[in-house]
Amino acid sequence: MITALSVAKAYAAAQRGISGAGSGAGPGGADFGAMVRTAVDNAIATSKGAEQQIVAHAQGKAQLIDVATAVSAAETSLDAVLAVRDQVITAYQEIMRMPI
């Protein structure tokens, strides 16, 4: 079950990753690749947790509200990763349009 405490811990872990705790960080801050990798890994873990909740519900071991919460968290996580991807693609396209 996803609780407010687990969400707060995940948020704190993400903030530590963004603030430059990753290896390879330059003098300007965190390594962008490590930050994206962490976000994708978190999205995958959230998705796997939702899948486990679905299986547990099918076996009668979990309540429907827990499944709905886990699926919603996985969807939100995936939406965030897709938004970052879209912004990276847009930035790349802008760079490619710059005159030399």
pLDDT tens for each residue of the chain, 100 residues long: 566 666 666 666 766 665 544 455 555 566 888 888 888 899 999 999 999 999 999 999 999 999 999 999 999 999 988 998 899 899 999 999 998 7
Structurally, the chain folds into a number of domains equal to 1
CA distance 52 to 62: 10
Of residues 44, 16, 41, the one with CA closest to residue 30: 16
Cα–Cα distances in angstroms (integers) from residue 66 to residues 4, 21, 45, in the given order: 13, 32, 16
Judge residue 50's burial from the number of C-beta atoms within 10 Å of its C-beta, 0-12 exposed, 13-18 middle, 19 or more buried.
buried
Cα–Cα distances in angstroms (integers) from residue 58 to residues 25, 45, 84, in the given order: 44, 20, 33
Q: Which domain holds residue 35?
A: 4-97
